[in-house]
Amino acid sequence: GFFCPCHGSKFDLAGRVYKGVPAPANLEVPPHQFLSDSRLLIGDDAARS
């Protein structure tokens, strides 16, 4: 999972916040796409659309 050292919130591998921590919401998942078995594009690349 993920740990935020700023305020101590914990998140699972899908970015969902655990109960009883300061974070009010789940982590945002950015736009992404798998280009191949070993390449992942993260972000919005308008040139590829």
Q: Where are the domains of the chain?
A: 1-49
Query: What pTM value is reported for the model?
Result: 0.63
Position 49 scores a pLDDT of 54
Q: How far apart are the first and last CA of the chain?
A: 31
pLDDT per residue rounded down to tens, the chain (49 residues): 999 999 999 999 999 999 999 999 999 988 999 999 999 999 976 655 5
Task: Read off the amino acid at residue 21.
Answer: V
Which 8-state DSSP code applies to residue 17?
A: B
**Catalytic residue numbers, as ranges:** 7
- As a whole number of angstroms, the distance between CA 28 and CA 2 comes to 13
Position 29 scores a pLDDT of 86
Position 22 scores a pLDDT of 96
Domain at 1-49: CATH architecture? 3-layer Sandwich (2.102)
Position 24 scores a pLDDT of 96
Position 46 scores a pLDDT of 64
- Which residues, listed in sequence order, are joined to residue 15 by a DSSP beta bridge? none
